[in-house]
């Protein structure tokens, strides 16, 4: 019995350490190859697969870019002194595992794409996102963003959120194109 408890405690400690590493990704460069994938998918913007998503590829790409750009704006305007570290089970589980369940949450209006999405607008947002990734490097580590599910995130946690969120929507795009 003591051996099982010891193993369980060790596993919990390892999970905690792993989550600290994964959720404290303070290098925004992890987003650069993901933006390259976004750019490669733009020619497929009109493709849709209702069995995967009601939204087409353009919606997914526009949403990814709006999220990166609007969240960066919030981080830039935030007060680092106002950051309060907290524990969120949903944040720990999702950002450690690198997984966001599909169809569980509604996007806030500020990051919802318009009815008609043109390629030129996606390219413009893509260029803005590249500039914003560079800006992230210069922000204070306690620059913060309030996520509607995960709570208040510091810069490193926000970068990890953007990484996981982008991968989530790129996976949907992959599924739209491959199914």
Tens-place pLDDT, residues 123-174: 999 999 999 999 999 999 999 999 998 899 999 999 999 999 999 999 999 9
Q: Looking at residue 88, what DSSP letter applies? A: -
- Residue 151, sorted as left (phi over 0), alpha (psi -120 to 50) or beta, turns out to be left
pLDDT of residue 48: 97
Residues 120 and 152: their CA atoms lie apart, in Å, by 33
Residues 179 and 174: their CA atoms lie apart, in Å, by 8
- Residue 169, sorted as left (phi over 0), alpha (psi -120 to 50) or beta, turns out to be alpha
pLDDT of residue 3: 82
Tokens of 26: 């303070």
- CATH class for the domain made up of 2-178: mainly alpha
Residues 38 and 35: their CA atoms lie apart, in Å, by 5
Band the pLDDT of 36: cuts 50, 70, 90. very high
CB 66 within 8 A of CB 110: yes
Boundaries of every domain in the chain: 2-178
Residues 74 and 143: their CA atoms lie apart, in Å, by 9
- Residue 91, sorted as left (phi over 0), alpha (psi -120 to 50) or beta, turns out to be alpha
pLDDT digits (tens, 9 = 90+) for 80-126: 999 998 888 888 888 888 988 888 778 888 899 999 999 999 999 99
pLDDT of residue 93: 85
Residues 22 and 19: their CA atoms lie apart, in Å, by 5
Residues 36 and 42: their CA atoms lie apart, in Å, by 10
Tokens of 173: 């795009």
When the pLDDT of each residue in the chain is averaged and rounded to a whole number, the result is 91
pLDDT of residue 99: 87
């Amino acid at each position: 019995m003591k051996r099982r408890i010891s193993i369980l405690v060790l596993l919990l400690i390892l999970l905690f350490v792993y989550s600290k590493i994964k959720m404290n990704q303070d290098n925004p460069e992890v987003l650069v190859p993901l933006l390259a994938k976004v750019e490669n998918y733009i020619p497929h913007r009109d493709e849709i697969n209702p069995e995967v998503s009601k939204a087409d590829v353009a919606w997914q790409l526009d949403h990814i870019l709006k999220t990166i750009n609007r969240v960066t704006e919030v981080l830039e305007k935030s007060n680092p002194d106002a950051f309060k570290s907290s524990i969120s089970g949903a944040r720990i589980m999702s950002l450690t595992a690198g997984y966001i369940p599909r169809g569980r949450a509604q996007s806030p209006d500020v990051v919802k794409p318009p009815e008609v999405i043109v390629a030129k607008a996606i390219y413009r947002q893509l260029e803005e996102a590249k500039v914003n990734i560079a800006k992230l490097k210069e922000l204070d580590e306690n620059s913060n963003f309030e996520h509607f599910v995960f709570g208040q995130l510091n810069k490193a946690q926000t970068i990890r959120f953007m990484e996981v969120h982008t991968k989530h929507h790129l996976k949907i795009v992959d599924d739209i194109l491959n199914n």
